[in-house]
Amino acid sequence: MVIALVAVGCGSQAATPEGMPPPPEVSVAQVLNKQVRQWDEFTGRVSAIETVELRPRVSGYVERVAYQEGQEVKKGDLLFVIDQRRYRAELARAQAELERARAEARLAQTQDKRAQTLVEAKAISREEFETRRAASTQGDAAVRAAEAAVASAQLDLTFTEVRSPISGRAGRALVTVGNLASADQTLLTTLVSQDPMYVYFESDEQTYLRYKELARKGERADSKNPVRVGLASETGYPHEGTVDFTDNQVDPSTGTIRARAVLPNPDRLFTPGLFARVQLEGSGDFQALLVDDKAVLTDQDRKYVYVLGPKNEALRKDIVPGRMIDGLRVVTSGLSPQDKVIVHGVQKVFMPGMPVSPKTIAMGAPAPGPQVAQAAGSK
């Protein structure tokens, strides 16, 4: 009887071996098959459309700084005032010279008319008549010269009030009250326009030629060349604009060509000089298979993923990955739309053919949270 019981116990242990771990839990997602559009990524810099280095047109001592540093100004706003006393005196002198020239011109015209009458009566010589006629002409010319001098003096007086030539943001005052400002030399401040803004970026030769080929074939989805832009502190590319300029030559030293995008800036998020990430539409719509990039593994020079087999085992499939689109990786070959790819928990798979415990999620979804097991009857 004892021998029989020992035999039964040994048979039971052989049927259910102890210490065998359960299959690891993994998250699987159906390969996403949808129409997508390729966006190429570049880096660029924000630049103002208009940039002005403000310099005076007349020389003199700065009398007043008429703006707050860093404020936005409108075209025509007063920024600096240069001492006007010398220019007012010059204007008064030019106006006096104009009055004298007009008086002399009136006298010469009167003498010319009298000489016309006298020469007809043969009371004066022809030579004296021509002298008076020349004096009248010279008087008219002197009036015009004096008028030009008055206009120039008025213009110089106007230039003592240095006004903003554009609408934008003014920089700090580089010359303060009491300092001498030289005409066309002394830098007073800088101004940059605010809305819209430019973003300059560079493309390599291969990408540029691909764009030209797509445009020639009419395969670009949008002829306006839309771009998406993100700043260094932002996630994704929340700002939209269009390419409005491409340079006329490729830089032979770098093999790149410069392009420019224009973007609205109503909220003043863009400041000249900021680093920007740029996405440019690189193709029309096409059908693609997409997977989460976390599912892609590397084996030397090959890329592969684990897919769920018919008996819940992990099967290896070598793939050829493409670009990232909308946060997912394009797979150009190696997968079919029916495949279910192991996305989360792939590090638990040690070899192909290993059994797993799958949990289905959507492609691109985050990993499910851990489940806390409670013992039955625990309080």
Does the residue 95 lie in any domain? yes
SS (H, E, C) the chain: CHHHHHHHHHHHHHHCCCCCCCCCEEEEEECEEEEEEEEEEEEEEEEECCEEEECCCCCEEEEEECCCCCCEECCCCEEEEECCHHHHHHHHHHHHHHHHHHHHHHHHHHHHHHHHHHHHCCCCCHHHHHHHHHHHHHHHHHHHHHHHHHHHHHHHHHHCEEECCCCEEECCCCCCCCCEECCCCCCCEEEECCCCEEEEEEEEHHHHHHHHHHHHHCCCCCCCCEEEEEECCCCCCCEEEEEEEECCCCECCCCEEEEEEEECCCCCCCCCCCEEEEEEEEEEEEEEEEECHHHCEEECCEEEEEEECCCCEEEEEEEEEEEEECCEEEEEECCCCCCEEEEECHHHCCCCCCECEEEEECCCCCCCCCCCCCCCCCC
Q: Which of 235, 263, 284 is the last residue of a domain?
A: 284
Shared domain for 149 and 226, answered yes or no, is no
Q: What domain count does the chain have?
A: 4
**pLDDT given for residue 173 in this prediction:** 92
Residue 143 and residue 252 in one domain? no
Tokens 């005196």, residue located: 89
For residues 137 and 242, membership in a common domain is answered with no
Structural domain contains residue 338:
yes
> Residue 9: inside a domain, yes or no?
no
Q: pLDDT tens digits for the chain (379 residues)? A: 444 443 444 444 444 345 567 888 888 888 888 887 778 889 999 999 999 999 999 999 999 999 999 899 999 999 999 999 999 999 999 999 999 888 888 888 887 777 777 767 777 777 777 787 788 788 888 889 989 999 999 999 999 999 999 999 999 999 999 999 999 999 999 999 998 999 999 998 888 888 888 778 776 655 678 889 999 888 888 999 998 888 989 999 989 999 999 999 998 899 999 999 998 877 666 778 888 888 889 888 889 988 988 888 888 988 888 877 777 888 888 888 888 888 888 888 888 888 888 888 888 888 776 543 333 333 3
Task: Give me the domain span that covers residue 68.
Answer: 52-81+162-192
How far apart are the C-alpha atoms of 235 and 244, rounded to whole Å?
A: 25
* Tokens at 78, concatenated: 């007063």
CATH code of residue 96: 1.10.287.470
Using CA atoms, how far apart are residues 354 and 24, in angstroms rounded to an integer? 9
Residues 206 and 203: their CA atoms lie apart, in Å, by 8
CATH number at residue 251: 2.40.30.170
Residue type, 369: G
Q: Do 73 and 132 have their domain in common?
A: no
Q: Please indicate, yes or no, if residue 92 is contained in any of the structural domains.
A: yes
| 367 assigned to some structural domain | no
Same domain, yes or no: 206 and 244: yes
pTM beyond 0.75: no
Last residue of a domain, one of 159, 183, 213: 159
179 and 306 inside one domain: no
The span from the CA of 341 to the CA of 356, in Å, is: 12
Q: Is residue 6 part of a domain?
A: no
* Whether residue 346 is found in the same domain as residue 275: no
Dihedral angle, C-alpha 110, 115, 117, 121, nearest 10 °: 160
Amino acid at 164: S
Q: Please indicate, yes or no, whether residues 70 and 199 belong to a single structural domain of this protein.
A: no
8 Å CB contact between 98 and 151? no
Residue where one domain finishes, among candidates 235, 256, 284: 284
Residue 345 maps to which CATH number? Answer: 2.40.420.20
Residues 204, 258 within the same domain: yes
* 72/166 same-domain check: yes
CATH number for position 166: 2.40.50.100
176 and 70 share one domain: yes
- Residue 71 CA to chain centroid, in angstroms? 22
Q: Are residues 144 and 92 in the same domain?
A: yes
